[in-house]
Structure 1
Amino acid sequence: MLKKKFTLLKTDSQVYLRLFLSLIICIIIAVMISSSVLYIKFRDIASNQVYNFNLSSLAQTNKQVSMMTEIAKTVSYQIFSDVYLSKLLYYSSPDIYDIRPAMDQLGNYRISLPFIDSVYIYNAASETFFVSTNNQNVRITGNLSGSHNKSSFIDKDIINIIDNIDNYKPFTPISRNFSYSISDSNSYSFYTFLCYDPLSLNTANNGIVVVNISEKWIRDVMTADSKNSFSDTFIVDSSGKLVSNSNTEKMGTYISNLEYSEELYSNPKTSGYIIDEVSGIKSFIIYTEPDAFGWRYIKVTPYDLVFKDIDNLKKNLIIVCIIVFAFSLLLALMVSKILSKPIDRKLSDLYILESENRTKNKLLKQEFLSNLLLRRTSQNLQIIQNLIKEYEINLNPEYYIIMFLIRIDNFEEFTHKYSIDDINLYKFGIGNIVTELCSPYFSCEVVDMGEDRVIMLFNSESDEINISEEELKLLFDSINDSMQKFMNSTVSITFSPVGSIENAGLLYNQVLEASYHRLFYGPRCIINSRDIMLYKDREYTYPMSKEKQLTESIMGFNSDSAKKIYLEIINETTEYPFTVINFVISHLALAITNTINIVCKNNSLQYQPGFNVSMLNLTNIESLEDINTKFFSLFDELKLLLEEKRNTKHDNLIQTINNIITSSYASMDLCLNGIADKLAMNPSYLGRVYRQKTLKALPDYITEVRINKAKELLQNTQYSIAEISEKIGFANSSYFYKTFKKYNGVTPNDFRKNLNIHH
């Protein structure tokens, strides 16, 4: 009863909330749409106004540049045609009386126009430049003649142009940068105009007039109407190279790598504007159509400066929206309260009835499908059809069915981390993901089969799967990718052949048995149960000879060989039924257990394996690697235990040998063979074990003990050298002398003298 009341209260709240939210959303949408339309309209108007104004300004700049170009053409042609200057152009050796008036005339041409920076006349016959310039800080010439030999002329760029003059048209501006001298740190930008006779280019009478116009003059024209220092106006050619300086880049820089260049050059013949980021700042970029030289005039203005007023309007609109929203909130609160009461009574009853019916129907449907797969219900087609219709199951019983058995990878870890309710919810998520991804191909039903298993039932109109094997693999991969992304886990999928609905139980047993082969394929595997069922016809013969080799390797403490033989036996079962795999593992487990018991008994070992090999349940093991790891660790643990026992035995042997040497060093018969006889052991084996454990040869250790004893006697007694030699087991004194000196670097007599001197 309490639950029912709680449900009704919950329904009341939901009806009221829905009405309230509906009214609020309608008001918000209306205000947002109207304000957004106004804002967008104002912004478009402002954009067009700014665009038209700046485009007109850029067009005016274009006219002034064109006028300057025409004037430069006229001046260069006048210089080229002036008879006073013809001697500078063509004479191979004009005298000083010809040069002076000609240079004055050249200066007059230069100073007649303020934007002309310098004028060169190049005499090809004498390879001489005659120069007039208005740059007073750094002059090109250091003498009054104004003439320079081609080889020493500082303007190397113009020399390169003249050497390749075929690539340059007369009266066409060439943009370039130039420093007047090496000591001048400034770089000046020019537009260079060439005037020459194309017919005499390759003759000795070829003369060229070079007029350099300062880029600063054009720059001043372009920025004259700029109202702020943040805007940038510049010119680019058809290749994307700057032919004027900008605020950030020098003339000659290519802008093709800038953010907006791609869109700019996608409209190569029209003017327009772009809104894009420039140097990390959102900007309004206006560009003209190309002029006669292919130049385009571009103006970049920060977006915030252009749309400052529009942004203020936007803020005002937001304030108005907030006020309207607050008012509408109160209005909606009152209206929804009034409307919700009569509606909610009916809805609450319908909600309870619908919820109870849905829950009951879902449980009945799951129970029926589960019993159908487990063959606990009638397999009669007519009965199945009636129940499918009654429970509204999304399957057509007249069609064939396909079955996907989905098993959760690392399920044991799941059971430790999550409760049963969480795992059921997780399986529900699996069903949703698979249904969503398979919906283009099949209609689907999900059945929870307990533990780590979920069955997906699909309809197929034909007795073959209606998608290709490659598409099926892509579908399974996408299922696992979605599982990894949204649920942070993976699944293994086994799919059945096409079958009829009344044979669903047989298909389920088939895919369940085939799914056990995940043991070989590992997590996220895809298994075709039809392929696995072909293994049933194969006869298996258990390799008794290899089992014998395995037990011999274990008894011989050779774990590497045991692992290798074990793997050979296991890998031979990959293409046999699961019953064969289960039999082989059980048989091996029993044989290995018996072998371990024998080894432990023979070597007096107390060993208890970390797991019970005879109680392995393969149906719950997901990877063969898990079983292999258990067996391999068993082999390694047994080997380590035996090695420890063997090492303890050797340590005791070394201690016994050392005790014999310490007590019998005075005996001249003390040697390797004598000790081996005393211990009833092979001399070679005894010497090898001693060297392995102590890193010393046994005879060397005997000599070392004797020499140390000799040093004690030399220090503490008055025995003669011959007596000491005899007492420590040396047969003659001379051999004792040699051996003592070899170990100590001095003879026994010197050793004793040194001790006396020290005392």
Structure 2
Amino acid sequence: MVFQTKFPVKTMFAKFFFAYLLMLTLAIAVISIWLFHIFSNSSIRQINELSDRTLMQGQKSTEYLMNQAMQVSAQLSFDYPIIQQMNTAESDPIVENNSLKKLNDIIFINESIYSIGIYNGNNTSFLTSDYPNIDNEAIEMLNNSDPKTKIRLLPRKLKLSSGKNQEENVYSIFYYNRDKSTNAILNALIVNVKEEAIRNGINPDDRVDQGNILIVDATGKVISDPSGGEFLKDYSELGFIKKSLTESGSNSFVDTSLSGEKVLVTHSYSNQLGWHFLHVVPYQAAVVSISRLRNTVIWISLILFTFSGIASLFVSGKLSSPLRGLVETLEVMKEKSKNNLKVDYLKDILGGVKAPQVSSELEFALRVDLFKGTSILILKIDEHFDATVLEVEEVADEVHNQMRLSLLNRVFDLLQPHFSYESLVINKDVVLLINHDEAFNSHKHLVNLINRLQEQFRQTMGTSVTVAWGSYVNDAANYHASFQEALEAADYRMVYGLGSMLTYETVFANVKHEFEYPQQHLKALLEAIKLGKEELVWGALDDIFNALKDCQYELIKLSVNHLLLTVFITTELSIQDVKDDLLTNFNNAVSKLRKLETLEQMKLWFAQYILHDMQRIKEKRKHLNSDLLDRIRGFVEGCYANTELSVEMVANRFDYNPMYFGRLFKELFNQSFSEYITELRLSKSKIYLAQDHIAIKEVGTKVGFNNSSYFVTLFKKHTGMSPSEYRNKLKI
């Protein structure tokens, strides 16, 4: 029997069908292999990125705790009872109790702090928040240290004199002064941070596949480990520790030197702390998810291949159009993915995670040559500030994105015809890498273009752009340093104002490294507040903020916060309104102050804040004085006839010092106490003189004059007539 096929092989339709099926089969196979390759690379990259983020979060958490403890130290160094405790020649129980209360209050609200100690070299006393812990070892260490060094942060085992544990793992921060002739420690402030606070902050997750963060110092000693049991042990002989200590920047590698177990190690270094951070992940736990996902991808590819082959039998040539759309979509996705990878590559270079590679430049088709002279610019879109109401207008994210897109378009229009450059967005700011042959100070054309960019953006968008430059890069290894310089220069927008052009060299050439807080100007400001002198408030604020312009950014922020706290305490204690929630008021003030971006804005805000509170103080005093005046008048009205009535008697009645009360009485009544009493008694005498049955001698006695002759003389002096003449006049 002969069977005839429904689709003869020799027909045009059959040829097209089988060719199409073959093409579809090959396409699916290629796409499956390509997707698997991309997915595998992406999965490995995601593990590295996760480690980088985890490591960065741990590093930032540690730096934050250290900064918080250092800020506590700095704040304590300005506290008057603490200064007394550190410098008094003899022990004073009152000063000691006040200082101890201050220390315990600080520890109560800062769970990361283990203890705080104050050493006074004048009387060799040591006051701590924890009495059993007298940290004499720290003073010996300071006395034996090199006088030229400044010990800021030190991991150590704190010896205890009582308790179950004989020692405690801490990180110590020292503020101290030496005798220049003997190098002996005059006084010291020691803040001990709990080691477990650092450990809990950087290793919050117990999942094995998330790994743990290990911190070591420059010699390989353990500063923090997941268990806390290896503190200050020497790990310098471990292979991955050696590798991390000898290599600069951030890197990732596989190692087996930790108990023979294969681990993934990601390394970074904190310039602020001088410590190496290592994220250690068990290799098998890290890649098990990749293996499962790989198998899933293979099965999905096989299912798609089978499904596509069956579907092609039913729809045959009708798939040509959808297939073309699929290819175009995949191309778009590939291009977008490639662009994202390029941005990530540039971010890694600027962040110091990677060094520029020639192969990567070819892969990503960079428009800028990273091996030629390059400038790094940060463009920050400034928030709008309304000086009439002293408020910052917060721009919504959508509007900010549109403004940033407009800025990128203008960058393209101005720079593209003249320079090779790359642009990317980091933390809402536009970052530019621009190739040119000369450093910033000598390349006038580039500077003029950036100036034009700032002016055009201001005219069209109604807000300014601050531009910060890092040092000119002529070595591929210096991108991270230049980017960090640009970030630091951008912070000084606070000093130079919005719309500034800031270079690292210019900014830090003007920064004074020795800073003395303007205590005298602060004292003048507080005195102006107490006196209610608005013009003196403006002058004192000018002096304070002018003094802050030349100091370091972190000190500016600390000083402004200290100013707010001092002003808040001064004004609130003067107002003392129990209806107010002081904590809420203070948090609101802090929130408003943090929105301001320049010292000039902050000065205007402080002026408005202080003048508003001064008005509240005046109204409060006016209300209190009015009430006091009524009470004094009522008391005097009731005892004016008492011949013993005196300013001392009334002052004692209202618990005032007689001399001060005399001045206060004149301020309230616009006349002295004796003048007021004399007028009151003479006024009352006129009422008695209108009554004929009362003798004139008795009238003087009834109103408080114990001498009738004096009463007659005084009455005639004030009225121009004697009491008898006054009585006769009333009868007419």
- Structure whose alpha-carbon radius of gyration is higher: 1
TM-score, normalisation: structure 1 = 0.44
